[in-house]
Structure 1
């Protein structure tokens, strides 16, 4: 997930480079069942977010499942992409809005 403006900028250059790529060497990703955790931790109340649905076969860089933060459920790991995210790996983009209380709910299966 990222701000819509960041996604539009990435589309213009062909890849998304989150600040974390330069800071810690990877881009934080989430499985659908965990997306609400970082959304609430980092983006609570924001209404400009988009979820980027990815095709793992198109990523072009290693993905490692590693621990999140201590407040996450015990033994939960998150996918980390060790390289830029190619825009052609994104198969769907969807708005991700919080509830009226500013909190992001867990995603539900459609």
Structure 2
């Protein structure tokens, strides 16, 4: 299982279109080339580091990698530490999202 923090409006759009195409906060899949994801241990840190100033609730997408039609590559996300993160190279199929968790602010 991998995880992605999503704005609610973007997830609602994905449900209408059949695929999620946001990469990260403020960037699309087209902008970035992949969708940022995290492990179960990583997403809380990503939430506090990159979403601390968000005042709206976020959705945590629980993504089953085996249901994705796009490939997942684990790549170094922080060269200083060598920590790797899962990157989804293509849209996230809505059917691959097996659960969502509403995360109320504060996100820090």
State the SS of the aligned residue for 2:90. Answer: coil
Match of 1:64 among 64, 73, 97: 73
Higher share of residues assigned strand: 2
Please list every run of 5 or more consecutive structure 1 residues that lacks an aligned counterpart in the other structure: 104-110
Whole-Å Cα distance in 2 between the matches of residues 81 and 20 of structure 1? 12
Match of 2:43? 35
Give the distance between the partners of 2:36 and 2:104, measured in 1 at CA: 19
For normalisation by structure 2, the TM-score amounts to 0.81
- Alpha-carbon RMSD across the aligned residues, in angstroms, is 1.7
Contact conserved, 2:78 with 2:84, CA < 8 A, in 1?
Answer: no
Q: Structure 2: give runs of 5+ residues left out of the alignment.
A: none
Larger radius of gyration: 1
Corresponding residue for residue 12 of structure 1: 16
Report the counterpart of residue 96 of structure 2 in structure 1: 89
TM-score, normalised via structure 1 length: 0.80
